Structure 1
Amino acid sequence: MVGNFISEFETVTEYWSPKVVAQVNDQYVKVAKVKGDLAWHKHDGEDELFYIVKGNLTIEYENNSLKLNQGDFHVVPKGVMHNLVADEECWIVLTEPVSTKHTGDIVTEKTKSIADQLVS
């Protein structure tokens, strides 16, 4: 398989709507455009890797926050409450287990099911 992240981002039309672009063993590779904030949540059994392709992303934790710039990556450990915030449009690549629910332990109007994320 050969893919192109930039081409995949061109097909993303909604913020906070991850799209699965590949699977590596039991991990999905997803692309998403984000702007604004998502929701405070956690994933009890899964770590998440975020890679910033374009823009800036702040990952808020209960006691601090971390600003990621283009080219940065960060792993949010399983079980840790976090919220994602992007003041301007940001393009991210996520790598996470196939079982990972979009907004973890909560459901909001922004929550996307795995089925929604698999739709091309």
Structure 2
Amino acid sequence: MSDDVRNALSALSNISEHWQPHRLASINDYDLKVVKLQGEFVWHTHPDTDELFLVLSGELTIQLRDRDVILGPNDVFVVPKGVEHCPKAAAEVQAILFEPQGTVNTGHVGGSMTSNLRELG
């Protein structure tokens, strides 16, 4: 089944836009997404699901209303469901997200930064 092997770093090299997740793989009812992040996102929540961030490169700050969580390479953080958060990155970050299929990146707020989940070719 070597045709099913996916390389996260290779997939990231094909992504040109920030804040636009791409599905790398699916497991049960969850998607493993790769994404490049830079700048500040929007404050939002995911009312029905937790959201896992795994930073591969760079430094990502996940702003919460009561504190900032700073992630570096190989760090993992789970934003609990319903917790308002706003990711930001001064320089480009490459990351993996793990969340249920159908989760919208802007959560409950929508807007111009909402992504249509892209498939990697």
Deviation by residue 1:76-104 (Cα, 9 ceiling, x = unmatched): 10000000000000000000000211100
1:84 to 62, 71, 87: 87
User: What amino acid does structure 2 have at the position aligned with 1:39?
Assistant: V
Asked if residue 61 in structure 1 is aligned to residue 59 in structure 2, the reply is no
2:5 to 2, 6, 20: 2
Unaligned runs of 5+ residues in structure 2 are: none
- How many residues were matched structurally? 118
Deviation by residue 1:25-73 (Cα, 9 ceiling, x = unmatched): 0000000000001100000001111000000000000111100001101
> What pairs up with 1:75-114 in 2 under 5 angstroms?
75-114=78-117
Over the aligned positions, Cα root-mean-square deviation in angstroms equals 1.0
Q: State the match for 1:118 in structure 2.
A: 119
Q: State the match for 1:47 in structure 2.
A: 50
Q: Which runs of 4+ in 1 moved over 6 A?
A: none
TM-score (ref. length: structure 1): 0.94
Q: State the match for 1:74 in structure 2.
A: 77
The 1:8–1:119 alpha-carbon spacing in structure 2 relative to 1, beyond 3 Å, is: closer
Which secondary structure state, in structure 1, belongs to the residue aligned with residue 88 of structure 2? strand
Asked if residue 13 in structure 1 is aligned to residue 13 in structure 2, the reply is no
CA contact (8 A) 2:11 2:120 kept: no
Take 1:55 and 1:109, find their aligned partners in 2: how far apart are those partners? 25
